[in-house]
């Protein structure tokens, strides 16, 4: 089990309510016992200092922490909404801040920020431009980057130069806040000292607004709920649709093109059951190998058996319960990381391995290999890229197919799609509910007579024909237990029109067999003796993956009325060897 860092959640001092007082420059929220007169004063002062506060906080017990709402000025005169959290004492303190479009006013968010402040930091939760109380027009991540607007840079430097700041700034956060940290690092604010990213991303075209070239308008319509002016989100979606391919527009939101500008130490957390693990691993690799002088050799990466998200890195994952040491003490470790880089404390983090990754194994089988942590200087380890061929009768075989005509067909109907509920990857759950649907095909190995480890990146290479000019392919990999459960490990979609690259489209001709090759995801798994390995193929899985209309026409925000059904055929024969390519570990258990 990883050594536990010190806990920093302070003892609470009874129920408290916010009392506002005017300190001459801004309104502060001092969280302590208050009486009826304090509450009346809070109401009376409600309209003052519009750039320091934008309304009263809801009652939340934050103990000894002082909470303040602040409108932070940007270079174009707009202001971003931020909640600041101050520890006891006179300061100055180093600053930690997170940027997000999601609401920062929820009780859970505020309590988590206050707990972090108790470690001796000013903590700032900052909303993106145009979201919630932040001024300006919502433009997604574009105002955070290296263009005319540099909101992350401006927020960082404002926080660093306040009288209560030591001038050292760190950033933290997951997903949207992970993207924001990569954007920020490229702009090189002078006071940015260190970062801590969880389940992060680099390119909005490849890992965000689109996945494998598939579009997700229904998913991103929901962002209007975060916008100060919801119509801004409608306009942004329309703008995206005018750029169907990976072009200069999308390069302006691709941080992977600018690793050489990233020049700070960063600790990155990745999760095996998360498609965005590709961004976490690529961020570590790019910064560690191609970053600036203060970046190279100062990155650390941990990958565990977790789902996407922050503060969820425990041992209970989906349907599985891993050993207790699969838990990662995220907050405690983050404080150790920042204490070293921002306070100069000897916490030992700089002596820890560059890479830690969890090798997953069968759960509930006491003698099963795996479910252990490994350390490394880099990632991934060397592996033998080994093909497993799709074959007739739903077989997945190591031998090359010899039949001249074998193939497997299914219907892809965007008006009657197969179903994968929810909007997030359902990793570590039984995938049979999807596998047993009518237009889904599975290919499964024989029962394994010995354990086998895959650690690295899985790749699919399919040979496909369709009666439609365009379609999607969804590939999944699961661990089939002796009792029949098919525990999902990884999946990924690919829009076939982008099979030759995301910068241009190539439609299919009816009956033409085309090669579709793409990465399915990262893995570190020991498939135990007595288990089987399964590959699942389909072309729809809604609502998780929004259906392709299959007309070959440009994508639209609203689903078109002329969507067409198609018969898709996976060819697995002597001339068209559809396969999965597995990263088989050099040293086996």
- Which tens digit of pLDDT belongs to each residue from 396-432? 999 999 999 999 999 999 999 999 999 999 999 999 9
Report the chain's mean pLDDT, rounded to a whole number.
91
What's the fold here for domain 383-585?
A: Jelly Rolls (2.60.120)
Examine residue 380 and say whether the peptide bond preceding it is cis (omega within 30 degrees of 0): yes
Residues 474, 410: Cα–Cα separation, whole Å: 13
Reduced to 3 states (helix: H, G, I; strand: E, B; else coil), residue 455 is strand
Helices marked H in 120-230 = 151-160, 176-187, 204-207, 217-221
Residue 34 has pLDDT above 50, yes or no: no
Angle among Cα 6, 11, 16 to the nearest 5 degrees reads: 140
Over residues 166-199, the pLDDT tens digits come to: 999 999 999 999 999 999 999 999 999 999 999 9
Tokens at 276, concatenated = 């965005």
Residues 345, 367: Cα–Cα separation, whole Å: 42
CB distance 376 to 281 below 8 Å: no
Q: Which CATH architecture has domain 60-359?
A: 3-Layer(aba) Sandwich (3.40)
β-strands 316-317, 452-466: how paired? unpaired
Residue 486 has pLDDT above 50, yes or no: yes
pLDDT of residue 56: 63
CB distance 549 to 382 below 8 Å: no
Residue 19 has pLDDT above 50, yes or no: no
Confidence of residue 58 (pLDDT cuts 50, 70, 90): confident
Please tell me the least confidently modeled range out of 14-18, 84-88, 326-330. Answer: 14-18
CB distance 179 to 102 below 8 Å: no
Residues 240, 248: Cα–Cα separation, whole Å: 12
Helices marked H in 71-134 = 107-117
Strand partners, 300: 267
Residues 66, 85: Cα–Cα separation, whole Å: 6
The answer for residues whose C-beta is within 8 angstroms of residue 436's C-beta and 6 or more apart is none
CB distance 269 to 198 below 8 Å: yes
Strands (E) in 245-298, as ranges, are 266-273
pLDDT of residue 32: 34
Over residues 203-215, the pLDDT tens digits come to: 999 999 999 999 9
Over residues 337-387, the pLDDT tens digits come to: 999 999 999 999 999 999 999 999 999 999 999 999 999 999 999 999 999
Over residues 537-579, the pLDDT tens digits come to: 999 999 999 999 999 999 999 999 999 999 999 999 999 999 9
CB distance 580 to 521 below 8 Å: no
Neighbours of 7 (CB within 10 A): 13
Annotated domain spans of the chain: 60-359, 383-585
């Amino acid at each position: 089990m990883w050594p536990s860092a010190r806990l920093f959640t302070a003892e609470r001092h009874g129920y408290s309510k916010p009392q506002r007082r005017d300190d001459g420059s801004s309104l502060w929220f001092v969280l302590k016992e208050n009486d009826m007169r304090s509450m009346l004063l809070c109401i009376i002062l409600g309209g003052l200092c519009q750039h320091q506060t934008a309304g009263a906080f809801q009652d939340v017990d934050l103990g000894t922490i002082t909470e303040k709402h602040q409108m932070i000025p940007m270079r174009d005169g707009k202001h971003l909404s931020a909640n600041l959290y101050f520890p006891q004492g006179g300061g100055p303190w180093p600053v930690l801040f997170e940027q997000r479009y999601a609401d920062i006013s929820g009780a859970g968010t505020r309590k988590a920020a206050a707990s972090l402040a108790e470690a001796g930091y000013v903590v700032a939760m900052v909303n993106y431009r145009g979201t919630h109380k932040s001024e300006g027009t919502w433009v997604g991540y574009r105002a955070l980057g290296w263009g005319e607007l540099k909101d992350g840079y401006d927020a960082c430097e404002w926080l660093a130069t306040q009288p209560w700041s030591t001038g050292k700034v760190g950033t933290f956060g997951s997903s949207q806040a992970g993207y924001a940290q990569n954007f920020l690092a490229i702009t090189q604010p002078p006071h940015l000292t260190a970062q801590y990213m969880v389940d992060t991303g680099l390119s909005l075209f490849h890992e965000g607004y689109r996945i494998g070239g598939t579009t997700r308008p229904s998913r991103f319509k929901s962002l209007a709920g975060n916008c100060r002016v919801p119509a801004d989100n409608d306009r942004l979606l329309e703008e995206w649709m005018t750029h169907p391919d990976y072009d200069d527009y999308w390069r302006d939101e691709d941080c992977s093109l600018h690793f050489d500008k990233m020049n700070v130490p960063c600790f990155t957390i990745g999760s095996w059951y998360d498609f965005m693990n590709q961004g976490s691993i690529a961020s570590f690799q790019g910064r560690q190998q191609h970053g600036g002088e203060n970046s190279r050799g100062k990155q650390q990466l941990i990958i565990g058996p977790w789902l996407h998200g922050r503060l969820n890195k425990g041992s209970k994952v989906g349907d599985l319960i891993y050993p207790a040491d699969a838990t990662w003490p995220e907050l405690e470790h983050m404080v150790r990381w920042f204490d070293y880089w921002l306070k100069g404390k000897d916490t030992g983090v700089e002596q820890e391995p560059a890479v830690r990754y969890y090798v997953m194994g069968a759960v509930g089988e006491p003698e099963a290999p795996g479910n252990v942590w490994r350390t490394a200087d880099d990632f991934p380890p060397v592996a033998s890229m080994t093909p497993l061929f799709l074959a007739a009768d739903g077989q997945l075989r190591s031998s090359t197919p010899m039949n001249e005509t074998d193939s497997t067909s299914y219907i892809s109907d965007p008006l009657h799609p197969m179903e994968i509920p929810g909007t997030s990857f359902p990793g570590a759950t039984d995938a049979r509910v999807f596998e047993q649907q009518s237009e889904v095909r599975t290919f499964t190995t024989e029962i394994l007579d010995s354990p086998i480890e895959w650690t690295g990146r899985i790749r699919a290479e399919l040979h496909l024909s369709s009666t439609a000019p365009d379609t999607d392919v969804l590939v999944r990999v699961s661990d089939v237990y002796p009792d029949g459960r098919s525990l999902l490990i990884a999946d990924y979609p690919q829009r076939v029109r982008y099979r030759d690259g995301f910068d241009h489209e190539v439609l299919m001709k009816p009956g033409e067999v085309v090669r579709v090759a793409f990465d399915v995801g990262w893995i570190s798994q020991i498939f135990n003796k007595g288990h089987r390995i399964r590959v699942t193929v389909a072309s729809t899985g809604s609502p998780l993956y929004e259906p392709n209309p299959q007309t070959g026409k440009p994508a639209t925000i609203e689903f078109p009325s002329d969507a067409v059904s198609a018969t898709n055929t996976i060819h697995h024969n002597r001339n068209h060897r559809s396969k999965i390519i597995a990263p088989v570990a050099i040293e086996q258990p």
